[in-house]
Structure 1
């Protein structure tokens, strides 16, 4: 029998799955964690064999990833700071997993991927993923500033640096990040998961005790200075002077009634009857379609906010601060305003509220069309898969 050596070689190549080890800082409820889960949910498992190391705890997305039959290892560093034992654990895990490629996911994990690959004596490609913009590096924590600056020097020694936005790429390259091994892969959105739903709208509004006619403005973001929830609340106070029946809902880790900074500001502004603080929720697709406006009120730090694209996929109009690529995502389907400006935010909300029903519906529909045409998850996953293959070849 004649053996086709070329076909045998092809079959051998196909059978060998590329082992990818993802190292991420934590697996909480942030946008970068959501995107990693989305990528792992859709990656071609016939070609790739993923595993994940979290430098901190498992969080809610660690459990979601394990449900995909992907192993998740948690080193449980305190505040992401390495110890001798955690360093040994990561090094041993890399030796045990024997990956073909290591991908860091966020600043701290990027450096961890680079260093521990060296300590494990694995001569394999390392890929960095940067999900952050540098509106003002001085506003970052001192440790994060140091890691960012060290990364600007060491970035030339990794296989590739993938940014989620063009603005983030340009900002990092301005402080010395390598241009030779850089690319942009935006976040992608599952438009079959995030879509308009009259049923979801009705159910969530019943949960809040409001009617379908009540105008509802939402914020979905963990509590952090860069998210600037105070800006959102001060703008709410200004809008309520003109539209007193408007309601506001805020969702995210730490955005609850135990947060004294938020509740104190709400009391000072006298808007408690109009604001709902829901804290961390794992059912965001069951919330977003109920909104009339989604707002990202961030002051700095955003690169490519997932919540904006998710809302647009649900035909929810977005009013966002011009941080990172937020404005580019929205395009002409919503409103883009300067950060740290409650008056501008309230004015933008007012402009949307004043639109007639048909015009507002047309604007919301154009938002979903923009996501489908430019930021589909299928396209983004394909870009990552092509990048992985190019680094291995």
Structure 2
């Protein structure tokens, strides 16, 4: 079997496999299908071509998210080819770690028990950091912030990002933020947080949410992609692109963490990842798809 990933590879790799005589082809969709108008023109054109060929080239189309499958079906992909396999995680790597927590907070200059919220995401319009920073600004303005610090982790989360710097200065948040930049140890960064916030306006299956949960971190997410499905009833879900709603969600979550204690508040989140998003389960699901389209019995 041949497995391809994302629109261009699905089209080119799928056609190349067919020309090579391979019939057992599975495409892979990682895009949420939301806000495609913000994608490149080539991506939109390739998506249309894939939709037209989706009943002829692949025998299965694997989506990482339920909403991604629905949106692509609405855009012309063959519904009977679509399969949803949620991402899986190495739960020995993404796990609560007190020593890593202490190291991360020391690196960020966090003193004592000040609540630390954070977002692990590259600088990208779809990640909508402006939404998060406006929410934090609203909390600080109204005295609802509980003295929080906000850590931004990811590519572009650095002082030499002029757009980010201008936004921070406009909102008066320079003293509240830590620009940590890219991390080569995401589990340690997650452990340093008391609350992880996904502020995106579009997602497919946002890995950072499950990774934070696996580390026992309480989460606030915007209702994009499968974020609400991932957190279930273990976190707070708010509408996308509404800074005041996000501010209220963060305020509610901080109260919950303070009342129950960080570890107890995060336990249901890790338990949900253990139950639904284990790496071994994901691997077995892919193997089952590849066997089915190849005609191989389990």
Contact 1:205 1:212 in 2 (8 A): no
Per the alignment, in what secondary structure is the counterpart of residue 253 of structure 1?
coil
Counting only pairs closer than 5 Å after superposition, residues 87-166 of structure 1 correspond to structure 2 as 101-118=1-18, 121-157=20-56, 158-166=58-66
Counting only pairs closer than 5 Å after superposition, residues 183-202 of structure 1 correspond to structure 2 as 183-202=83-102
| TM value normalised by structure 2 | 0.93
Is 1:369 the equivalent of 2:280? no
Cα distance in 2 between the residues matched to 1:354 and 1:317: 11
Cα distance in 2 between the residues matched to 1:190 and 1:104: 22
Per the alignment, in what secondary structure is the counterpart of residue 4 of structure 2?
strand
Unaligned 5+ runs, structure 1 = 1-100
Contact 1:352 1:360 in 2 (8 A): no
Cα distance in 2 between the residues matched to 1:238 and 1:223: 21
Partner residue in 2 for 1:170: 70
Following TM superposition, the consecutive aligned residue runs of length 4 or more in structure 1 with deviations greater than 6 angstroms are none
Give the alignment partner of residue 130 of structure 2, picking from 187, 209, 230: 230
Shift of 1:359: 6.1
1:4-37 superposed Cα distances (whole Å, 9 cap, x missing partner):
xxxxxxxxxxxxxxxxxxxxxxxxxxxxxxxxxx
Distance 1:295-1:208 versus aligned 2 partners, 3 A rule: same
- RMSD in angstroms over aligned alpha carbons? 1.6
How many residues in Structure 1 have an aligned counterpart in Structure 2?
291
Cα distance in 2 between the residues matched to 1:334 and 1:111: 38
Give the alignment partner of residue 188 of structure 2, picking from 270, 286, 302: 286
Per the alignment, in what secondary structure is the counterpart of residue 276 of structure 1?
strand
Shift of 1:346: 0.9
Shift of 1:138: 2.2
Distance 1:212-1:190 versus aligned 2 partners, 3 A rule: farther
Partner residue in 1 for 2:171: 269
Contact 1:113 1:126 in 2 (8 A): no
Partner residue in 2 for 1:327: 228
Partner residue in 1 for 2:250: 349
Cα distance in 1 between the residues matched to 2:6 and 2:184: 22
Cα distance in 2 between the residues matched to 1:154 and 1:363: 47
1:98-135 superposed Cα distances (whole Å, 9 cap, x missing partner):
xxx2211122221121133245x343422111112122
Higher RCO (Cα < 8 Å, 6 or more apart): 2
Is 1:304 the equivalent of 2:196? no
Give the alignment partner of residue 210 of structure 1, picking from 103, 110, 131: 110
Counting only pairs closer than 5 Å after superposition, residues 71-82 of structure 1 correspond to structure 2 as none
Shift of 1:212: 4.3
**Larger Cα Rg: Structure 1 or Structure 2?**
1
Is 1:383 the equivalent of 2:285? yes
Contact 2:195 2:254 in 1 (8 A): no
Cα distance in 1 between the residues matched to 2:128 and 2:170: 17
| TM value normalised by structure 1 | 0.71
Unaligned 5+ runs, structure 2 = none
Contact 2:194 2:262 in 1 (8 A): no
